[in-house]
Amino acid sequence: MEKKLNKIIENNKDLTLEGEVATYIPELGKANAKDLGICIADMEGNIYKAGDYNKKFTIQSISKTISLMMALMDNGKEIVFDKVGMEPTGDAFNSIIKLETIMPSRPLNPMINAGAIVVSSLIKGKDKEEKFNRLLSFMKKISENDNLEIDNEVYLSEKKTGHRNRAMAYFMKDVGIIEGDIEDILDVYFKQCSIKVDCVDLAKMGLFLANQGILPSTGQKLVSEDISRIVKTFMVTCGMYNGSGEFAIKVGIPAKSGVGGGIMASIPHRMGIATFGPSLDDKGNSIGGYKALYELSKELNLSIF
Ligand code: GLU
């Protein structure tokens, strides 16, 4: 298997030159555009890896899948989906436009920034520290990595420049979708996006979802099958930004990408896969990671459709 993965990395190394590293969060601009890594974690406990699989990067939007699991566990489906919808947008992840044009005003899904900020506001805890720490502990459990921590530079960089996210959050407070202190809610959101991971961490999180919310190594059930199903479904319909439809047709697997260059994929009952390549296409998806998943899906017959 590692031979296959090495070949896939080799095939796509040069493709990274065709994309661009995200710079709207200034600190992300320091990433090495040529990095490309991949990891598979399967149900039997095997870990296969290639390329820059052990480089650390910030999880960014991929954290939206984890915060959604927590918000659903904390509040139940009714409360969460009263405040955030279930439909793809066709717009960019940080788009504001539909917030005002759709009535009742609520973000269309939990994978776009507006929806994810609402989701973070629903995580329970007595203050922002407790909320974030609960989320971090949950991530440590499902990645089986006790050393996860935030990248402080990326966190501060986004906190300083996240004006668009701030604008959305204040708008949603105005229309009554969000309750509570906006700066505190954004703090949880910016921190969750700044958690540092590598491909092994993400592949294990993908595996946890593939195994219906049960940690394969211990058999411990941490999330209901229903919640795990909901999250994977959002990954199919909205996980690859406004390129999700094309990805579903070409690659056919539940996946969530982040502007830090990561993609976490989950093949039900089979495996978790992660890729890392900070050079992004025009939709914000890792250009090398996307193509690597495309090739792997063909090679291993992974499409769920
Ligand atoms: N922290 C990023 C933001 O809010 C996450 C975006 C992403 O990865 O799609 O802009």
Q: How confident is the model at residue 89 (pLDDT cuts 50, 70, 90)?
A: confident
| Residue 34, pLDDT score | 96
189 is catalytic: yes
Q: How confident is the model at residue 5 (pLDDT cuts 50, 70, 90)?
A: very high
- Residue 117 Cα to ligand 1 midpoint, Å, equals 10
Question: Which atom of ligand 1 lies at the shortest distance from residue 258's CA?
Answer: 8
241 is catalytic: yes
CB 84 within 8 A of CB 168: no
Q: Is the CB of 289 under 6 A from ligand 1?
A: no
| Residue 234, pLDDT score | 98
Query: Could you read off the pLDDT of 195-231 as tens digits, one per residue?
Result: 999 999 999 999 999 999 999 999 999 999 999 999 9
Q: How confident is the model at residue 160 (pLDDT cuts 50, 70, 90)?
A: very high
List the domain boundaries for the chain.
Answer: 2-59+196-300, 61-193
Q: How confident is the model at residue 98 (pLDDT cuts 50, 70, 90)?
A: confident
Q: Is the CB of 239 under 6 A from ligand 1?
A: no
Structure tokens at 62: 């991929």
- Residue 162 Cα to ligand 1 midpoint, Å, equals 9
- Residue 35 Cα to ligand 1 midpoint, Å, equals 20
- Residue 193 Cα to ligand 1 midpoint, Å, equals 7
- 61-193 has which CATH code? 3.40.710.10
Q: Is the CB of 113 under 6 A from ligand 1?
A: yes
259 is catalytic: yes
Domains 2-59+196-300 and 61-193 belong to one CATH topology: yes
Q: State the DSSP string of 165-223.
A: HHHHHHHHHHTTS--S-HHHHHHHHHHHHTBEE-HHHHHHHHHHHHTTTB-TTT--B-S
**Mean pLDDT within 172-196:** 96
- 2-59+196-300 has which CATH code? 3.40.710.10
Which residues lie across from 89 on neighbouring strands? none
Instruction: Indicate whether this model's pTM tops 0.95.
Output: yes
